[in-house]
Each structure stands twice: as structure tokens, then as C-alpha cells.
Chain A
Amino acid sequence: MRKTCIDMVHELAKHDDRVVFVGSDLGVGTLDEMRWELPDRFFMEGVSEANMIGMCAGLATEGHIVYTNTIATFIARRAYEQVCLDVGHADLPVRFICNGGGLVYAPLGPTHEAIDDFALMRAIPNMTIFAAADAEEMREFMPQSLDWPHPIYIRLAKGHDPIVTKELPPFEIGKARPLIEGSDALIITTGITLRVARPALDELRAEGLDVGLLHMPTVKPLDTDAILSRASNSRAVVVVEEHSVIGGLGSAVASLLLEELASPPSFRMIGIPDQFPDIYGSQNDQLSYFGITSERVATEVRSLLRRAAA
């Protein structure tokens, strides 16, 4: 997914001289071809995220479409004020390509785990948030990112993630992607939780429950119509995300349901509880540890439907 994203920056730059790339001391060899072919529009800055993002704002003010890349936490946390003011307030076309969304950097501990990036970015007006499920979704997203008139936070997954979006309708920034409709319960996913929830969906439907799944690669702006039109006919809604239960997609959906529906469905968020990750291991180890699993999704849907029926 990262390779697809980064390679496509070069492709976009070849055909559009507004495109520039700004990296922050990334791994050796990153975008080497672009560096040799388009040296004027390739910048590899040091470990200086505040400066890098201010610089991106300056380049974007002058008419460039800026793709910038480093580790997610260093953009979302360390350089938050530059992201918020220099880019967000100015509403500039800077695309933050953020490595290691969610628990990808599990072995590296809490300094590198982006469990609060949706919350931080959602709080910035003008910001668009995109979390891809796989490289295919990224491939659909990148050309659309070129002329999107706002800044975009792009959350990358681990890489070599299984392709799970082939059955979905075409990707469009700001639009949810329904996998299947169902009238009993609705599962909402973003990023890699599409693949987490998929076995649960199959299992629940095999049990005879009419469960739908709505995948939301765009966390902000929220496709409220897609959610409300389905949630208003469902008895239960479960949002599953690789993010803190505070401030992410689950929070956004919860607010929406409570504010817009007279009789909101039973609701559950599956995410990381309000704590820093306190184990190492792999991304999958931590997903299991925090209960962001297919089994948990199935259990919560069954439990909510029982509660709704009682």
C-alpha cells in the first residue's frame, strides 16, 4: 500500500508539474526514480517535521500539490500545530502520507503507534481523512487526491495487506462503500478493519442474520447519508476501527446517530480502549489483545440484536 501510494506520487508528478514530494529522512532509496527524473520537485528534509510541514504549506500556497511522507505520529502529534494552522487553517492541498496507522508499529511501542490520529485530524476544520483497506483502494484514491481542494491525511496500513476491496463499488473521496446491505444490523469499518470484520459478516449471515457492511475509507468528511439511510433501518450498529474509542470513526457515527435519529439503534464501538498500548508483539497480536477481532464483532452484533429484541 505504501509502495503503491509513493510510486503513484511519481506517476502523478510526471503528468502534472504542480506535484512535489517532501519526505522527512525516509528510508534509503525512497522515490529514487523521481529524485533523478524530477530533482526540482523532490525534497528530502531532515528529521524536522515542524519545518517540513511549514515548508509544505509554503509550497502549496504557491500552487503546488504537495505529497509529504513520514511516520503518522510525527505528523499527527509532533507537528500538530503546523498541520492545524499552516495547512488546515489555510485549507491548502497538502497530502500527508502517514506510515504506520493504528498498531502497525506494535513492536516499537507507544511512541510510534498512531492510535489517536483520527481524533486529532478530525478536530482540524478543512481536513479530509482517508484510511485505505488495501493497495487497490489506494490505487483508486491517489488520482482523485490530485484535485481534491482540501488537505488530506492519508493513513497507511502495514503493507502487503490482503486485497479485500474488489467486491466494493468504485471508490470516491467522501463516499462510503457498501459491501452488502442488511436490515438487522450494520457493521461499519475503515482501513484494515474491513478485513477484520469480513469473516464475522459471513458468519452472522450464515446464521440467518441479515447483517450489512458499510466500509468507510473516508473518515472525514463523513458520508452521513450513507450511514443514516442504513442505520435508521437497523436494530444494531457496530463500528470497528484500529483507533482509540475516543474521537475516531466510532465517535463520529455515535454523534450522528444520536443527533439525527429519533430512535437510534443499539450501538457499540470496537477499538482501542482509553490507554496506551502496553504490550509489544505484532499488529495482529495487539489487534487480538484489544479485541479488534472478527470474533468480537460477531459477538457484539449478536449481543446488540438480543438486547434490541428484549
Chain B
Amino acid sequence: MISSARARNASLQQMTQAALKGDVVPSGLEPGPLDQRSKELRKQCVRCLLGGSRGHVGSTFSLIEILRVLYDDVLKYDPANPSWEGRDRFILSKGHGCIALYVLLAEKGFFPDAELDRFCHPDGILGGHPDHVKVPGIEASTGSLGHGLSIGIGRALAGRVRRADWRVFVTLGDGECNEGSIWEGALAAGNHGLENLTVIVDNNKRQSYGSTDEVLDLEPFADKWRAFGFGVHEVDGHDTDALRDAFARLPYEKDRPSTLICHTVKGKGIPEAEGNNKWHHLRAIDEAKAQAMIDAIEAY
């Protein structure tokens, strides 16, 4: 026991040193190109980061293609009437990735685009975690991890009670799946056979301290979801065609909730940020840093 604990500590120590040096840890995905739309969305994220001079970069950039496909091609919604009964409910349970969602919601017209520049301002509506009381289009206030799935389950059950055809989508981080409440929710969703519920995992393989396999190993991850009663599909979370196809095939199994595991790269789109834990959350972002980020995105 003692030797295995020592080995683990040594491994964590190496990981910490690598993370502190800013070493890039490979994600296992081939580095893929980004089309101009994906680049533009990331540049809008940089507006937010500069507006607040801070923000979670890594988990925002791993989410872009997932949210882009959802809001371009999958979800039903009406920006002029955010509480339209017939809409699909989208909950970003990994609330720290909210900048990506703000950019999509602003683009679709849920609130004025100028709000992006007021990220984390005292008089702005966009905070470092999303607040549904303040922001049109945000379905649940998240930020404390492990809450969104259960809220989504309640909403999916309400949809079932009223025999509605709208669906519920909940996006989790893989690190977030350390939370016990996620697995309480997974048990319940499986038990209720919630076919109208889809869990999307932004599986970027990294959490705040380091890589998920070393901090708290989740593997075999897809098998865990299957064991809890979900139909499961895996996809490259930056491949928009593959994402569209994966969403079109929902539900993956009849009378079961679905999980789409999206393999992503934390910080995707800025080479220095990719797999670099120093970029989990950045502070003191000034004009020069923001410009360097935009240049890196454009050159990607």
C-alpha cells in the first residue's frame, strides 16, 4: 500500500511540475483544423476574456464545436421568447465553460452582443458562471459542479408528465464527473428511462490540477454510463460533421437516456493553451495578451 501511494505521489508530482512548466499534454486526438466559423467564435470568446480580464480558457475552447452544432443545427429555441414552452432545454452543468455559451447566445440574439465586453463587470449580466435569473437563454445557474444533471432530470420528468416533445440536453465536464451527485443523477435517469434526456460530456481529459486519469481516473468511462442504463455514443468533439450526425441519431437506445461522449482538446484553437493547465483559468488578460490569442486562433 505504501509503495503504491508513493508511486502515485511521484506521478502526481511529475504531473504538477509539467503543469507548472506549462508542458502540453497530448489529448490523444489528432490536431484538427478549425474552419473560419469556429475561429470567429473563439475570437468572440476572447472579447469576453478581455472584457473581464479573466476567465476559464481551456474549458471554454473545448466546448465551442459542441455548442456551435447544438445552437446551429440541433436545439429548438426562440431568442425573442427564451421561455417558449416548446423549446429544448439546454443546461451547461460545467458552468465554468460559460463564455462559449454566452458567445452563441449573443450571436443568436438572446441578449445584446455588447454584453460580451462587459463580462464580469459590476453592471453586466454575464458572470464567470452562468446565472439564469439574469441571462436570457440560460436555463440553470451552474458553476458549482454536479448540479446540472439532476436539474435536467427534473425537467425531463416534467416533459414526460405533460407529454411534451421537447428534449433536455445537459453538458458535463469529465472532471465534473468526479462528483458523486452526477452518479446519483445517472442512476435516477437510467431508472426513469428518460429517453428525452441527453448527457453530453465535454471529455477534454483534463481538470484543474492535471489530467483526469491521474487525478481521479474515470475509465472505463463509456462503460460506466452504459452500466447506469444509458445509450452511449462517442465522437470527436471538434468535428462538426460528426457531431451533427451524432445528435441526429438520438436517442441511442429506446426508452433510455443517451450520453454523447465528446473527445475534445482543452484549450483547442490556441496551441499554447492546448492541454496546458496554466490555461485552465487566466487572469490579468490585457489588450496585448488578447491580441496574441486572436493571432494564434487566426493562424491555427
Contact = CB atoms under 8 A, between A and B. Distances in A.
**Co-complex (A, B):** yes
B80 interface: no
Interface size class of B (residues with CB under 8 A): 20 to 34
A46 interface: yes
B141 A50 contact: no
Interface string B186-218: 011001000000000000000000000000000
Interface in A44-59: 45-46, 48, 50-59
Given A45-B188, A59-B157, A54 B150 contact: yes
B184 A48 contact: yes
Contacts of A150: none
Contact of B188 (A55, A61, A62): A55
B101 to A, nearest CB: 18
Contact of B161 (A41, A57, A60, A86): A41
Given A85-B141, A85-B144, A89-B133, A58 B155 contact: yes
A20 B146 CA distance: 24
B150 A58 contact: yes
A51 B155 contact: no
Nearest to B152: A58
A58 B151 CA distance: 4
A204 interface: no
B22 interface: no
B159 A62 contact: yes
The size class of the interface chain A forms with chain B is 20 to 34
Contacts of A48: 184, 187-188
A81 interface: yes
A64 B184 contact: no
Given A81-B144, A85-B141, A89-B133, A55 B151 contact: yes
Interface string A59-93: 11111100000000000000001100110011100
B132 interface: yes
Contacts of A81: 144, 147
B132 A40 contact: no
Contacts of B150: 50-55, 57-58, 82, 86
7 contacts: A50-B180, A51-B184, A54-B149, A55-B157, A56-B154, A61-B140, A61-B151
Given A51-B153, A54-B185, 5 more contacts: A51-B188, A55-B150, A62-B155, A81-B144, A82-B150
Interface of A: 20, 40-41, 43, 45-46, 48, 50-64, 81-82, 85-86, 89-91
Interface of B: 132-133, 139-141, 144, 146-147, 149-162, 180-181, 184-185, 187-188, 191
Please provide the 8 A-B residue pairs with the shortest distance between their CB atoms, ordered closest to farther.
A58-B154, A54-B150, A62-B158, A51-B184, A48-B184, A55-B154, A50-B181, A58-B155
